[in-house]
Every structure is written in C-alpha cells, then in structure tokens.
Amino acid sequence: MKRRAETPASGRKMMSLVETTAWESMEFKNIPIISEVDVSPLLKLFKDKPVLDLQPFMKLYKNNTVERLQHPSYVPPSSHPETEVQSKDIVIAPETGVCARLYIPDWTNPDHKLPLLVYFHGGGFITGSAFYKNYHDYLNSIVAAANVVAVSVNYRLAPENPLPIAYDDSWDVIKWVASHSKGCGDEEWLNQYVDFERVFYAGDSSGGNIAHNMAMRVGSGELDGAIAIAKPVGIVLIHPYFWGKKPIGKHEPRHNKNSTAIKNLWLVASKMGIGLNDPRVNPLEDPRLSSLGCTRVLVCIAELDWLRDRGWYYAKALRESGWGGKVEVLEAKGENHVFHLRNSTSDNVVAMLKRVVSFINDEDEI
C-alpha cells in the first residue's frame, strides 16, 4: 500500500495552498460570541425574567441579544504531527456557508478503497464546530485508528438558524458526499480513496441526533437514484440528544432545573417550532422507526449522563420496531456527557474508540 508521503510534491503543495486559502476565507468558522436574534417566539420560556440561561451554552436576553458562553479554540486543517493524518476544509454550499473538514489517513492507495465516516459535531444545535480543537483531535484519532476517510460537517447553528436548518445543512453534505459515489465528484480525496459501500454516520450529543435523523431520511428513500449506493452501513450515536414530554427510566431528571434546561435547549434551537414529542427529538414516538436506513447501530452512553436512559430506550425501541438490523449499547461507567472530548487518554475513552473502530471495520459481531 502506498504511503501518503510518496504523493508527488506538486500535488501536496497545491493541497496546502487550498487548505490555507479556504481556512482564511471562512468567515463563518468563528461562531459569534454576541449576536442578535428575534426572541419573541421564546418569551414564555423567560417566565418574567430578563434572561433565559442555557448554561453552559448561552444566555438569551429579552432585548434580542444572544451571548454564547463557550469559547473553545479553533484550529486550521493540518498534517497531524503524531498520526500524520491529513486534513483540509471544503466549502460545500457557498450560499449558506455550509462546509466540512476532510481527513485521510497516512496510508492510502486508490486501488484499496477505505470506509467513509461522516461525523456531526455536538453542542445542543446552538454551539460547536467541526473546527474546534477537541473535534479536530478526536477525528484525527478515529481516522488514524480505523484507517478511514472522514468528513466532519460544519452546519449552521440555532437560534440564528433554527431547526430544521441544521438537518437540512447536514443532508446537503450527505448528498454532496454521495455525488462522488461514481468517482466523478469535485473532491478528489473522495473520488480516489472511498469505498461507498462502507459509509458510516456518527456524532455526539446533538450530532448523534443528526446522525440518526440522516439515517431516517435515507430510510425514507430521500437518497435515491444513482447516489443511493452511498447509504450508510451503520451509525454511531455517542451520548445522543433525545428527549420527550414525559420522563423515562430511573436516571432522567424530573421536573427540576436540569430537565428544564434540556427541554429548553430543544425549544430554543427550534424557536418553539418543533414539539418535544416530534420524532426528530423523540424517536420513541416515531411510527417509522423501523425504516432506519442502515443495518447496524452502535449507541454509546455514559453512566452519569442525564441522557443515558434515552440511549437505552432508543436501542430497545429499535429492536422492537421491526427494523431488521443489529444494535448494541456500550456504557462507560463513572463518566459524564461527551467525556471523550475532555480526556483523550482515559481508559474509557480508549475503550470507546476501540469499539467504534471495530464497529466501522466490522471486526466482530454485534
């Protein structure tokens, strides 16, 4: 198999120039700390207070101001010094600013096609970025360990761009990816290196929610025609953000500030336009769940996560729906929500990465 370092120098130079130019021109890579949005549809959530506090993500003020509270560092695409994974940024829809970061492993060969992972970042639909350092590092780890090509999706955020915009942006990326399935798309990394019969979707938190909903769109037949070959084999849902009107399980917070915060996150992201029992946030209420457009599912949950029970019940509902695939739940003991983004060397992070890698490479049966 050919090593990437053997790629002709002229080709690598051109890629480097494209990466730099794309990165510098991406004004939308930086999420605004302070912005303005019409909060009138959300006024009943304020309950006569001047501020709607959505810790740890943001605060909304009645004067139509949005203040984001998280300020992670952004990093440009790179040749990773440890894994030698290559990355670059691609603008997919200039009219909306939807873009993605692409990754290829150190070892590639056009004659030996690799699986493709389409990844959706988390952040409650209101923050997060494919360009955050923690996501860049995590994707580098997956690509190196699994020897896959990856597309990390950067969709528009609510409340400035309320749901279902994040779903539609993500679907545009899915269709763009699928347009390469015959080897004649506009991105050579996908044309040359991807086996489109081994496509996977993955995401954490709200990104896990998006991954599920993209697979539901595939199952409904929206990815049709010549590009249907790019439908996913499986999906990986890491601490997926699902919710509903009624609490379930033993660990889910009930009628307190924690449950209110989780509920309000969805209502703010959709600007009150999508209810809490909508199948997109509560798949337990989806009569079409059996049409999920893949054959394998891995649900990763964390013992101390408020969303833990939703992951368990999702897997149970999927098994009982008549869907014909296989689903597995992997639980990390003593861990909280998205722990894998905070400590990359812990035993549980290493174990989860190993399971995700084996799932993608189909190294064992579920």
Sequential pLDDT tens for the chain (366 residues): 333 333 333 333 333 333 444 555 555 556 888 999 999 999 999 999 999 999 999 999 999 999 999 888 899 999 988 889 999 999 999 999 999 999 999 987 888 999 999 999 999 999 999 999 999 999 999 999 999 999 999 999 999 999 999 999 999 999 999 999 999 999 999 999 999 999 999 999 999 999 999 999 999 887 766 566 678 999 999 999 999 999 999 888 887 788 999 999 999 999 999 999 999 999 999 999 999 999 999 999 999 999 999 999 999 999 999 999 999 999 999 999 999 999 888 999 999 999 999 999 987 544
**Full residue range of the structural domain in which residue 96 is found:** 4-30+74-256+275-360
The answer to whether 220 and 213 are in contact (CB under 8 A) is no
Q: Determine the straight-line distance between the first and last CA of the chain, rounded to whole angstroms.
A: 30
Q: Which residues are catalytic?
A: 205, 305, 337
Helices (H), the chain: 9-25, 43-46, 133-146, 165-178, 188-193, 206-219, 257-269, 308-320, 347-360
- Looking up residue 9, the CATH number of its domain turns out to be 3.40.50.1820
CA distance 74 to 60: 24
CA distance 1 to 34: 49
- pTM of the full structure: 0.92
**Closest to 52 measured CA to CA, from 274, 264, 304:** 264
SS3 state of residue 80? coil
The radius of gyration of the chain's CA atoms, rounded to the nearest angstrom, is: 20
CA distance 53 to 41: 16
SS3 state of residue 35? strand
State how beta strands 194-204 and 114-120 pair: parallel
Task: List beta partners, residue 36.
Answer: 65
**Closest to 234 measured CA to CA, from 301, 310, 323, 312:** 323
Distances (CA, A) of 159 to 63, 209, 362: 14, 17, 38
Task: List beta partners, residue 53.
Answer: 59
**Closest to 328 measured CA to CA, from 353, 359, 357:** 359
The answer to whether 304 and 335 are in contact (CB under 8 A) is yes
Two structure tokens written together for 206:
């709200």
The answer to whether 235 and 120 are in contact (CB under 8 A) is no
What is the chain's percent helix, strand, coil content, to nearest 5?
Answer: 35, 20, 40
Two structure tokens written together for 239:
């601490």
Show contacts of 91-96: CB within 8 Å, 24+ apart.
Answer: 91/22, 91/25, 91/26, 92/172, 92/173, 92/176, 93/169, 93/172, 96/156, 96/169, 96/172
The answer to whether 203 and 341 are in contact (CB under 8 A) is no
**Looking at the domain assignment, is residue 52 inside a domain?**
no
Q: Which residues contact 107 (CB under 8 A, 6 or more apart)?
A: 1, 2, 3, 4, 147
The answer to whether 83 and 13 are in contact (CB under 8 A) is no
- Domain tally, the chain: 1
